[in-house]
């Protein structure tokens, strides 16, 4: 695994829309009209229905889990939401290594995270620390 | 930028006195293998989630939940179905104090520290506290930052995660 500073993680990419959001609503009990109905989304000032902020968080976690495998443990995570996930857009969760530290039990890797859509809109930014076992 | 000495403050004495107080505590039902599988299927859709989230589970090989799994999403002991309070005064309403006179609420982000993973069969207890009120001056006037700390532990008292959530009001 390349742990050089600046190394980008393989992105986690999803086509997003009601199929994703309705499934997430079902496990989060988050049946909010603007996540399910275009007219409700328009009333919230958006072009139509839009996705849940917490699903962006899950996509960032998926990105980390796919990259680190079973030898890694997420120790810290942060997220700030920037823009809503509009319907029928492609969302990519991405990450870049910002620091690596030798610690007891392995290497502690700091990462910058973000999600963006295919229209170059930044949806969320964040950070994480992952402990990679020696 | 307003002069800090004349800028409006939203933080009342009553709000200041509430800093550190418990907003609420709750415990989950035991986490089921089915809950874990469904969560993983939803967040990895349309691809299949990793096997460790979808296996047979059971006492000999309990499933591990994804880090961001929410065991309180649906039913919890004592939880009654109700419409969530999405008003700008939702925080003070829970504390039983007068909310600040703000009109707009924004999500200021979340910071998480993870401890031991959540496993099938675990019962999670959460204690949510009012962490702090701070203010900054912005282009639209005074911004009120309210942070809440939610600490989750399992049935052995082990720390599962600490979440600091911030809302911005103006």
Give the list of residues 6+ apart from residue A57 with CB closer than 8 angstroms, or none. A77, A79, A124, A126, B68, B110
Give all domains of chain B, ordered by start, each with its CATH number. Answer: 1-31+77-170 (3.10.129), 32-70 (no CATH)
Chain B CB contacts of A29 under 8 Å are 73-74
Q: Does domain A12-133 have CATH number 3.10.129.10?
A: yes
Rounded Cα gap, residues A51 and A20, in angstroms: 8
Q: What is the pLDDT of residue B85?
A: 76
Are the CB atoms for B150 and B70 separated by under 8 Å? no
Rounded Cα gap, residues A96 and A36, in angstroms: 33
Residue position matching structure tokens 């939702």: B90
Residue B73 to residue A27, Cβ atoms within 8 A: yes
Reply yes or no on whether the pLDDT at B74 is more than 90.
no
Residues 51-70 of B with CB under 8 A from A: 52, 66-68, 70
What average pLDDT score do residues A59-63 get? Answer: 98
Tokens of B167: 């809302």
Task: Find the Cα–Cα–Cα–Cα dihedral B98, B99, B101, B107, rounded to 10°.
Answer: 170
Query: What stretch of H or E contains A63?
Result: helix A53-68
Q: What is the pLDDT of residue B140?
A: 86
What average pLDDT score do residues B1-24 get? Answer: 85
Measured between CB atoms, does A62 come within 8 Å of chain B?
Answer: yes
CA angle (B59, B63, B66) in 5-degree steps: 155
Check: complex ipTM more than 0.85: yes
pLDDT band at A90 (very low <50, low <70, confident <90, very high): very high
> Mean of the per-residue pLDDT values for chain B?
92
Residue B43 to residue A62, Cβ atoms within 8 A: yes
Backbone angles phi, psi at B157, to 5 degrees: 80, 10
Contacts A–B by Cβ distance under 8 A: 65
Poorest-pLDDT segment among A7-11, A13-17, A33-37, B39-43 = A33-37
Rounded Cα gap, residues B149 and B169, in angstroms: 18
Reply yes or no on whether the pLDDT at A40 is more than 70.
yes
What spatial distance separates the first Cα and last Cα of chain A, rounded to whole Å? 12
Poorest-pLDDT segment among A117-121, B18-22, B33-37, B139-143 = B139-143
Poorest-pLDDT segment among B39-43, B101-105, B144-148 = B101-105
Beta strands in A12-121 (DSSP E): 12-16, 72-81, 89-103, 106-117
Backbone angles phi, psi at B15, to 5 degrees: -65, -45
Measured between CB atoms, does B111 come within 8 Å of chain A?
Answer: yes
To test the contact with chain B by mutation, choose from A17, A27, A51, A84 the residue with the greatest count of B C-beta atoms within 10 A, namely A27
Measured between CB atoms, does B41 come within 8 Å of chain A?
Answer: yes
What average pLDDT score do residues B18-44 get? Answer: 96
Q: Which of A85, A82, A101, A91 is nearest to A59 (CA)?
A: A91
Poorest-pLDDT segment among A9-23, A110-124, B51-65, B81-95 = B81-95
Rounded Cα gap, residues A56 and B27, in angstroms: 26
Q: What is the pLDDT of residue B87?
A: 82
């Amino acid at each position: 695994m390349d742990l050089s500073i600046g190394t980008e993680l393989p992105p986690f990419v999803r086509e997003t829309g009601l199929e994703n959001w309705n499934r997430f609503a079902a496990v989060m009990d988050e049946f909010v009209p603007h996540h399910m109905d275009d007219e409700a989304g328009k009333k919230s000032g958006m072009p139509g229905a839009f996705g849940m902020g917490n699903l962006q968080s899950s996509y960032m976690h998926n990105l980390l889990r796919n990259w680190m495998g079973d030898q890694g443990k997420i120790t810290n995570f942060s997220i700030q939401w920037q823009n809503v996930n509009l319907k029928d857009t492609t969302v990519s969760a991405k990450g870049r290594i910002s620091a690596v530290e030798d610690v007891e039990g392995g290497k502690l890797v700091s990462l910058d995270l973000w999600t963006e859509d295919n229209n170059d809109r930044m949806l969320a930014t964040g950070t994480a620390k992952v402990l990679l076992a020696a | 930028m307003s002069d800090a000495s004349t800028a409006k403050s939203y933080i009342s004495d009553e709000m200041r006195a509430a800093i550190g107080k418990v907003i609420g505590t709750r415990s989950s039902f035991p986490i089921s293998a089915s809950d874990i599988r469904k969560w993983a299927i939803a967040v990895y859709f349309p691809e299949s989630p990793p096997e460790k989230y979808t296996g047979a589970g059971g006492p000999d090989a309990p499933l591990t939940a994804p880090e961001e799994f929410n065991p309180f999403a649906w039913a919890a002991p004592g939880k009654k179905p109700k419409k969530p309070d999405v008003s700008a005064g939702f925080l003070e309403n829970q504390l039983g104090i007068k909310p600040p006179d703000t009109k707009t609420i924004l999500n200021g982000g979340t910071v998480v520290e993870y401890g031991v993973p959540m496993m099938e069969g675990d019962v999670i207890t959460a204690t949510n506290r009012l962490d702090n009120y701070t203010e900054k001056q912005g282009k639209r006037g005074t911004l009120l930052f309210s942070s809440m700390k939610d600490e989750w532990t399992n049935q052995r008292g082990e720390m599962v995660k600490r979440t600091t959530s911030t809302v911005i009001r103006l």
